[in-house]
Structures are given as structure tokens and as C-alpha cells.
Amino acid sequence: MTRSISRRTVISSLAAVPAVLVLAGCSDESSEAAGVQEAATPAAPATPAVEAPKPQGSADMAKLLQPGALPDEVLGKADAPVTIVEYASMTCGHCAHFANTTFPELKAKYIDTGKVRFVFREFPFDPRAEAAFMLARCSKDNYFPMVEVLFKQQENWAGVQDAKSALLQIAKLAGFSQESFEACLTDQKLLDDVRAVQRRGAEEFGVDSTPSFFINGKMYKGAMSIEEMSAIIDGML
């Protein structure tokens, strides 16, 4: 998975990682397949438009929700009947596609209505993803807004030659100064904790691609559409 990288290398590599390597680590199998629909013959009225994808593994929910190296970032009611845990990488194009297209509808339809509790966890595959997650964590109460902005602007920082300058500009809009930006990205404990979240996901729950979702303990890989997620969630309500 992620190689051991010093805090110096994390910052310096923001200006050095070739763009072609930056988007490594997404699920190879998902986003193309996730959008495929059945061919031309219309379905009978009683047949759902999209069938629920089959799970690709499972995890014990009690173990999955145990505290890790970092406190979980959570949206939704604590007693929601469905809990979704997403593992994502900030430089993953499939993760950005899910965040920008499916997640807003998921939030409106299920999280904001009390049906889903959503937990977001870091699974970086490269130093740029690590840096982006560190900035989100340093944003404190603005964690989710920062993640949203970073995904929306992913192509403006993840694949450019000088990602450090690009991330600094985004961070300044979120209220960072040059000093707080540098302090965040040289916080060795935070970097170690982000890596620990990723390592736990891989070693304890079998996460090996992003995005990966655990929905009430069942594992699904890939950037699913809202129709696919609805088919899974509605069957659990």
C-alpha cells in the first residue's frame, strides 16, 4: 500500500510527483461498470430500474465502528437504521465522481432525512492525497466542506506539476495562512494517524481500492450511482 514517507517528502513531493502517477489507487472495476444500464428492451413496470449490486465482502459492524487513530468524521443521526462507511482517496478520480455526482443526492435523500449515518475515512494512496486529508483534518469543523471543495477542484491540484501551490490557494480560501498551511503539512502525528486509518482499513477490513463502502457491514467497491445505492439502502430500511 502506501510506502513510508517522511513529512519532508510529503511536502516536497507535492511539487515533484508526476501527474501521471497521481490518480493511482482508484478502483479499476467500478465507475465504468457502475453506470452501465441494461440494453434497449424496456423492463416490466414492476421491475426495479436498477438492481442492488451484490456485496463483495463483509465486516463486523461493531468492529468496523470501533474508534481508530483519528475520530470519525460523521454526518447523519446516530440512530439511523443504515450506516455507511466510505474509504476514499482524495486523488482518486472515481472517488471525486462519487462525491460530485452521487453524494449530494445520497445526502438529501437519506442522510438529511435520518435514514443513513455516513462515516468518511481516509485511504490515501500517495503523498498528495495524504496532504489533502491533512488539510481537511486541520480545517476542524469544516472537514466536510474542505473535502467537498478538494474533490470538486481535484483536477486543479491532484495532477498539476506544483500541487503545493495549488493546495495553498485552496487552503487560503478556507481560511489558512501560509504559516498554518505549512504547520498542518508538517504535523508528523497527523500524518502518522492518517496513515494508520488507511492501514487499519486494509489490514482489518480488506480495503484495497477506492471508493469502498461498507453498508450495514456489507462491502461494495466502486463509485456507485444513486440508483444503485438506493436499491441497497431501501432493501435495509
Burial of 144 (0-12, 13-18, 19+ CB in 10 A): middle
Q: At residue 86, does pLDDT exceed 90?
A: yes
Here the cell at position 64 is 468496523
Q: Distance between CA 78 and CA 130 in Å, rounded?
A: 28
Give residue 50's pLDDT.
Answer: 84
Give residue 16's pLDDT.
Answer: 53
Burial of 109 (0-12, 13-18, 19+ CB in 10 A): middle
Give residue 117's pLDDT.
Answer: 98
pTM summary value: 0.83
Q: At residue 138, does pLDDT exceed 60?
A: yes
Give residue 186's pLDDT.
Answer: 96
Give residue 25's pLDDT.
Answer: 43
Q: At residue 134, does pLDDT exceed 80?
A: yes
Q: Distance between CA 202 and CA 59 in Å, rounded?
A: 12
Q: At residue 39, does pLDDT exceed 60?
A: no
Give residue 144's pLDDT.
Answer: 97
Model confidence over 53-74: pLDDT tens digits? 999 999 999 999 999 999 999 9
pLDDT, mean over the chain: 86
Q: At residue 162, does pLDDT exceed 90?
A: yes
Give residue 12's pLDDT.
Answer: 61
User: In the predicted model, what is the mean pLDDT of residues 136-141?
Assistant: 94
Sign of CA dihedral 67, 71, 76, 77: positive
